[in-house]
Amino acid sequence: MPKALLIVDYTNDFVAPAGKLTAGTPAQSIAPAINRLAEAFRAQQDFVFLPTDLHVAGDPYHPETKLFPPHNEEGTWGRAYYGDLEPWYQQHKAETNVQAFPKRRYSSFAGTPLDQWLRERHVTDLHIVGVCTDICVLHTAIDAYNLGYTITIHSDACATFNPDGQNFALDHFKNVLGATVL
């Protein structure tokens, strides 16, 4: 059965030192693991999805406008993928098993075609990586749990702002969502 890798929000704004909402060094340090997984899934004809936060400047109706500084605005450097993931994506984005798509909420399933795409491809085995472990990765994993997917979290390829958040989320994946945490 095919598997899918979800690389959540691994963009400059969330990861790079100059990013507008950066999770800092922990987020930068997972780049090799993310890039390795992306290529491994692609090379074995599994699916690689890149759910990517998308905002419009100053959107008065978006709930995050009140919560966070502006980030991941369309067409900006901040919304490009961090480090080697951006050239990897540009090189492979035309391939049918590599698919980036915009999301407007923390969960990669909220208001997106992800669940339909996975069902069309007969994928039930989801591997989730990216940032932030306790925000968008967590909300994505919760929706995956509610939809009945088998979940694997790669702890060396997820990061967030602080160790407490990282530890809480990894514990929650394992003990509450029944995920395999590697």
Q: What does the alpha-carbon distance between residue 164 and residue 18 come to, in Å, rounded to a whole number?
A: 23
Question: What's the closest the beta carbon of residue 72 comes to Zn ion, in angstroms?
Answer: 6
Q: What does the alpha-carbon distance between residue 108 and residue 10 come to, in Å, rounded to a whole number?
A: 13
- Residue whose beta carbon is closest to Zn ion: 53
Number of residues that bind Zn ion (CB under 5 A): 2
**Residue 76 φ then ψ, to 5°:** -95, 165
Nearer to Zn ion, 53 or 134 (CB): 53
Burial letters 105-120, b for 16+ CB under 10 A, else e: bbbbbeebebeeebee
Q: Report how far apart the first and last C-alpha atoms of the chain are (Å, whole number).
A: 20
State the binding string over 50-79 for Zn ion (x if CB under 5 A, else -). Answer: ---x----------x---------------
Question: What's the closest the beta carbon of residue 53 comes to Zn ion, in angstroms?
Answer: 4
Question: What's the closest the beta carbon of residue 24 comes to Zn ion, in angstroms?
Answer: 17
Question: What's the closest the beta carbon of residue 133 comes to Zn ion, in angstroms?
Answer: 15
Residues at the site binding Zn ion, with contacts judged by CB under 5 A: 53, 64
